[in-house]
């Protein structure tokens, strides 16, 4: 008579085996867009995962060359990705998720880890479309993942153990800042870090145009605006100081900065930015309900 092993112990053993044999971990991407590319770059960067163990599928070959340049396999078959992978990233447009998963559901096993990068597709929807007990997660990255400077939030489904979240967080850490949190944070993260990238670009454009107005050449103004935002971001991220404290350190009584800040306050910048994050978050929630 065989010895009964509790399912949670089976999962833990499986994950420990994966972590011990990371170079042999089989990873697949269904979808070959920018997010898949950025995540693949980050995962492969430390060298622990072997590029030949990664496979990407897409209906078109338009984006295949950049994956092939990394040594990643490509295919037009989503089913092949499932059969050749333990960890699978769903990186297709949200409206395609039901179609993709309906064709793949019968091939998903308890040993698969399925990570969706599709905005607005809830964990409940993913779990409904996959076999019961499937290990499902949501990942919300942003565009700077392509340069390994992303902001990524992971949310776990009901069948996900802590070891899975730890594994994914470690694998994705080269992509940028990675945190694990409840699904209720995903939409706010979309408004803050996903849409927020575009908000920063608008601010950078405005900074540069202000300098152009005051006589600086446009190309130089854009370079200085980009460097200013980059430097300020590094100080904020790495300096362990609140933004208000950093702002105060730049201001001197009667100096240029406080005059500029007064102009921003009169223009309602703070309220406008808060409103932009709120509007983007609400839209993400609407997409999740549709």
Q: Does some domain include residue 124? A: yes
CATH number, domain containing residue 221: 1.10.3730.10
Q: How many C-alpha atoms does 157 have within 13 Å on its Cβ side?
A: 24
Question: Is 26 labelled a binding residue?
Answer: no
Question: Is 35 labelled a binding residue?
Answer: yes
Q: Does some domain include residue 233? A: yes
pLDDT number for residue 58: 95
Q: Does some domain include residue 189? A: no
Question: Is 226 labelled a binding residue?
Answer: no
How many domains does the structure of the chain reveal? Answer: 2
Measured CA to CA, the distance from residue 219 to residue 283 in angstroms comes to 34
Question: Is 239 labelled a binding residue?
Answer: no
Q: 160 and 223 share a domain?
A: no
Q: 112 and 200 share a domain?
A: no
Measured CA to CA, the distance from residue 261 to residue 250 in angstroms comes to 11
pLDDT number for residue 7: 46
Question: Is 34 labelled a binding residue?
Answer: yes
Q: 14 and 122 share a domain?
A: yes
Rounded to 10°, the helix 256-266/269-289 angle is 50
Question: Is 250 labelled a binding residue?
Answer: no
165 Cα distance to chain centroid: 14
pLDDT number for residue 32: 95
Are 178 and 154 in contact by the 8 Å Cβ rule? The answer is yes
Q: How many C-alpha atoms does 51 have within 13 Å on its Cβ side?
A: 16
**E strand or H helix that includes residue 125:** helix 123-129
Q: Does some domain include residue 187? A: no
- Residues of the chain under the 70 pLDDT cut: 1-22, 290
pLDDT number for residue 135: 93
pLDDT number for residue 280: 94
Task: Give the tens place of pLDDT for each residue, 203-242.
Answer: 999 999 999 999 999 999 999 999 999 999 999 999 889 9
Task: Give the tens place of pLDDT for each residue, 156-167.
Answer: 998 888 888 888
- Residue 54: CB atoms within 10 Å: 25
Q: Looking at 151, 182, 213, which one is the last position of a domain?
A: 182
78 Cα distance to chain centroid: 21
Question: Is 92 labelled a binding residue?
Answer: yes
Question: Is 78 labelled a binding residue?
Answer: yes
Rounded to the nearest 5°, which phi and psi values hold at 138?
-110, 140
DSSP secondary structure string for all residues of 209-270: HHHHHTT--HHHHHHHHHHHHHHHHHHHHHS---HHHHHHHH--TTSHHHHHHHHHHHTTHH
Q: Domain range spanning residue 251?
A: 194-289
Question: Is 33 labelled a binding residue?
Answer: yes
Q: 18 and 115 share a domain?
A: yes
């Amino acid at each position: 008579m065989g010895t009964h092993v509790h399912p949670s112990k089976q999962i833990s053993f499986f994950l420990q085996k994966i972590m011990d044999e990371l170079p042999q971990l089989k990873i697949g991407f269904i979808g070959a867009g920018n997010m898949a590319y950025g995540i693949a770059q980050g995962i492969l960067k430390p060298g622990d995962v072997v590029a030949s163990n990664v496979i990407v599928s897409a209906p078109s070959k338009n984006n295949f060359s950049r994956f092939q340049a990394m040594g990643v396999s490509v295919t037009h078959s989503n089913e092949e990705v499932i059969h050749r992978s333990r960890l699978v990233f769903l990186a297709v447009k949200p409206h395609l998720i039901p179609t993709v998963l309906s064709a793949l559901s019968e091939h998903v096993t308890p040993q698969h880890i399925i990570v969706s990068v599709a905005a607005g597709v809830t964990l409940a929807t993913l779990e409904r479309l996959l076999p019961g007990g499937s290990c499902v997660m949501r990942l919300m990255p942003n565009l700077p993942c392509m340069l390994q400077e992303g902001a990524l939030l992971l949310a776990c489904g009901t069948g996900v153990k802590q070891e899975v979240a730890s594994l994914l967080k470690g694998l994705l850490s080269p992509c940028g800042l990675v945190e694990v949190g409840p699904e209720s944070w995903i939409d706010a993260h979309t408004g803050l870090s996903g849409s927020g990238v575009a908000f920063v670009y608008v601010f950078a454009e405005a900074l540069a145009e202000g300098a152009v107005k005051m006589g600086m050449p446009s190309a130089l103004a854009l370079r200085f605006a980009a460097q200013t935002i980059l430097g300020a971001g590094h100080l904020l991220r790495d300096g362990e100081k609140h933004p208000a404290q950093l702002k105060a350190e730049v201001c001197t009584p009667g100096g240029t900065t406080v005059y500029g800040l007064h102009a921003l306050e009169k223009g309602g910048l703070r309220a406008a930015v808060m409103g932009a994050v709120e509007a983007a978050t609400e839209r993400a929630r609407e997409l999740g309900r549709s």
